[in-house]
């Protein structure tokens, strides 16, 4: 017999090779390509734009009822338009009226648009424009974000193609050109060459040289009393014989130079406050560059807000502080105030938020393209540059109001040959700053994209903060025509805070509504107060019952600050006397000597 073969173990399959870890160089290559692309598109992600248009087109194509409705309304408009056209052309003195634009369209405000054939051109365009806008509204199945994006882009495209923007169809341009024999076009060409030269040489716009920082604007006397790698702190010189006990610390946005609140002497909020007897401190942010790419949002809180508070407390020990934040500075101040409340820091006498949002669920047109695709695209661009450039930010703000800030200005400047008169506010608006890559990425993701602050997921030093912890009285200001921080979004602080709240709604936009000095013609505001424990009112319900007042909201704020200071002193058993001896400038014995006159160094950084 043959010996049995030994039993063999089943053969094991060979192990698959472990794939190598992704090579960082490939990721770097992608980021470099996307960064180069972002420079060409001014930071707008093409994928976000394409995805919105594709989503709209697919859902509109699958909605035959929507299409038929658009076609029916377009047919009705066309029939009315042609009837109006024929009867008007035949000399009918009272042709059937076409629906006017609501509100009246400023693009066709010139009286020449009421004459033939320009009235027919304007009416035909307005009817067609309505149907295009109709096509982007209430499309079944289209996501809300994509609907907002498509509607925004459709408004931009229809604004761009409007007859008012075509010189051969605009009667005002035609009449001016005929009357001046083309001299307006020569002036416009000269304006264009001057603007191009200024842009290429990185100089401010024409006329801005009349508003020099420290000479015509930002001239309120004061001293820089503290400086670190991120801020200078300015203490303003007193202008009265005595001062209110509680100082005011103002935290402006770092996207802008601080002197929006210290423009010309006649409209300077700082100068006005000092004239009312307040001791005022102002944060002046450093203009970052590529070396500051790693500066975080918490660095802005720690080295900005908290460092300034510590300096004020060292100069005026034992005093409670009225803290005031403007725009992004107000958002950061609210975060700092919530962290202080959580940690039992009682230094705030009150909290004032000027056009500052704490909830970003309805943050207006600025949120239209803030999604994962767009934020990632911006992050790659900032990773390459180290910061977000001023021109890239300015373009985004201008596109929100392209008809007013872009197209009409181009027509006046380059076709009518007219220069807009430069103002201190316009000159300041051209003096913008950069934003560090890490900080801006954290801001976009943590607040705009994920809305962590009011969702209970925003952490400071490893622990979550809540606006509901803030007990200091709040004075919040929204502006009626704000495209950056819509007033209903600003009002949401009432929903997430339980503190005593005074809310003001003033006329104007994001900047002009805040710079609203007493005596400014035509100013008015609405004001309402909510005690601790009162029920929440929706924005529209609040507006319906708020008190209407003529004049500047600054006066109401001054009265409120005085009242809060008195209440703080009574609560501490310090009596009701509100005026005290004028403070010294800085505190040399505390290591805070005056470092130089206002406006300091950082505001002058290019």
529 forms bridges with which residues in the sheet? 502
* 301 to 293, 369, 591: CA distances (angstroms): 16, 26, 22
Burial of residue 553, with CB atoms counted within 10 A of its CB: 0-12 exposed, 13-18 middle, 19 or more buried: buried
Verify whether residue 327 is a known catalytic residue. Answer: yes
Beta-strand runs (E) in 424-515: 435-436, 459-460, 463-464, 474-479, 501-506
Residues 6+ apart with CB under 8 A from 16: none
Active-site choice (327, 348, 444, 465): 327
DSSP-assigned states of every residue in 524-577: EEEEEEE-TTPPP--HHHHHHHSEEEES-HHHHHHHHHHHHHHHHHHHTT--S-
Dmax (CA) for the chain in angstroms is 125
**Rounded to whole angstroms, how far apart are CA atoms 336 and 324?**
12
φ/ψ bin of 162: left (φ > 0), alpha (ψ from -120 to 50), beta (otherwise): beta
- Residue 313 φ/ψ, nearest 5 degrees: -65, -35
- 465 and 324 Cβ atoms separated by less than 8 Å: no
- 206 and 449 Cβ atoms separated by less than 8 Å: no
**Rounded to whole angstroms, how far apart are CA atoms 221 and 597?**
7
DSSP-assigned states of every residue in 216-259: TBS-S-EEEEEE-SSEEEEEEPP-SSSEESS-EEEE--TTB-GG
Q: Are strands 435-436 and 459-460 parallel, antiparallel or unpaired?
A: unpaired
CB atoms within 10 A of CB 241: 9
Packing angle, helices 144-160 and 118-135, rounded to 10: 160
226 forms bridges with which residues in the sheet? 233
**Rounded to whole angstroms, how far apart are CA atoms 332 and 319?**
22
Burial of residue 588, with CB atoms counted within 10 A of its CB: 0-12 exposed, 13-18 middle, 19 or more buried: exposed
3-class SS of residue 110? coil
Dihedral of alpha carbons 464, 468, 470, 474, sign: positive
Name the DSSP class of 480. T
Residue with tokens 């907002």: 148
Residues 6+ apart with CB under 8 A from 465: 335, 338, 339, 342, 453, 458, 459
**Rounded to whole angstroms, how far apart are CA atoms 600 and 218?**
10
**Rounded to whole angstroms, how far apart are CA atoms 546 and 35?**
48
- 119 and 113 Cβ atoms separated by less than 8 Å: yes
- 268 and 262 Cβ atoms separated by less than 8 Å: yes
Residues with a catalytic annotation lie at: 327
């Amino acid at each position: 017999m043959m010996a049995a073969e030994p039993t063999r173990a089943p053969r094991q399959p060979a192990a698959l090779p472990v794939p190598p870890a992704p090579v960082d160089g490939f990721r770097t290559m992608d980021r470099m390509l996307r960064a180069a692309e972002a420079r060409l598109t001014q930071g707008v992600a093409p994928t976000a734009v394409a995805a919105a248009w594709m989503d709209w087109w697919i859902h509109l194509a699958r909605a035959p009822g929507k299409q038929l409705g658009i076609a029916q309304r377009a047919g009705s408009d066309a029939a009315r338009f042609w009837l109006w056209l024929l009867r008007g052309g035949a000399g009918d003195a009272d042709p059937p009226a076409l629906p006017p634009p609501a509100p009246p369209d400023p693009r066709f405000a010139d009286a020449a648009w009421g004459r033939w054939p320009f009235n027919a051109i304007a009416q035909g365009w307005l009817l067609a424009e309505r149907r295009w806008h109709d096509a982007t509204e209430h499309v079944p199945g289209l996501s809300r974000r994509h609907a907002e994006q498509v509607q925004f882009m459709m408004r931009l495209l229809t604004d761009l193609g409007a007859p008012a923007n075509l010189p051969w169809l605009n009667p005002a341009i035609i009449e001016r050109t005929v009357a001046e024999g083309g001299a307006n076009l020569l002036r416009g060409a000269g304006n264009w060459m001057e603007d191009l030269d200024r842009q290429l040489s990185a100089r401010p716009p024409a006329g801005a040289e009349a508003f020099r920082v420290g000479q015509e604007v930002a001239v309120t006397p004061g001293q820089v009393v503290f400086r670190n790698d991120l801020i200078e702190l300015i203490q303003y010189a007193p202008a009265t014989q005595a001062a209110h006990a509680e100082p005011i610390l103002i935290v402006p946005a770092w996207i802008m130079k601080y002197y929006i609140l210290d423009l010309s002497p006649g409209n300077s909020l700082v100068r006005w406050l000092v004239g009312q007897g307040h001791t005022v401190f102002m944060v002046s942010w450093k203009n970052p560059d590529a070396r500051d790419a790693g500066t975080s949002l918490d660095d802005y809180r720690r080295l900005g807000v908290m460092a300034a508070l510590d300096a004020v407390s060292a100069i005026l020990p034992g005093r409670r502080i009225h803290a005031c934040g403007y725009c992004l500075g107000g958002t950061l101040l609210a975060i700092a105030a919530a962290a202080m409340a959580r940690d039992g820091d009682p230094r705030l006498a009150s909290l004032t938020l000027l056009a500052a949002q704490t909830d970003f669920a309805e943050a207006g047109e600025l949120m239209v393209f803030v999604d994962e695709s767009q934020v990632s695209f911006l992050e790659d661009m900032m990773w390459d540059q180290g910061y977000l450039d001023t021109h890239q930010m300015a373009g985004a703000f201008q596109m929100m109001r392209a008809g007013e800030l872009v197209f009409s200005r181009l027509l006046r400047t380059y076709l009518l040959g007219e220069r807009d008169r430069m103002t201190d506010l316009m000159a300041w608006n051209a003096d913008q700053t950069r934003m560090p890559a890490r900080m801006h990425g954290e801001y976009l993701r943590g607040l705009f994209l994920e809305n962590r602050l009011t969702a209970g997921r925003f952490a400071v030093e490893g622990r979550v903060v809540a606006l509901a912890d803030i007990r200091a009285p709040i004075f919040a200001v929204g502006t009626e025509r704000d495209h950056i921080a819509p007033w209903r979004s600003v009002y949401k602080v009432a929903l997430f805070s339980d503190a005593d709240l005074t809310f003001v709604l003033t006329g104007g936009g994001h900047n002009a509504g805040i710079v609203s000095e007493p005596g400014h013609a035509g100013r008015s505001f609405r004001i309402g107060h909510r005690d601790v424990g009162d029920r929440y009112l929706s924005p529209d319900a609040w507006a319906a019952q708020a008190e209407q007042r003529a004049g500047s909201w600054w006066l109401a704020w001054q009265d409120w600050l005085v009242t809060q200071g008195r209440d703080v002193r009574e609560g501490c058993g310090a009596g009701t006397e509100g005026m005290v001896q004028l403070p010294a400038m800085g505190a040399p014995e505390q290591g805070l000597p005056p470092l130089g006159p206002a406006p300091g160094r950082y505001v002058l950084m290019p």
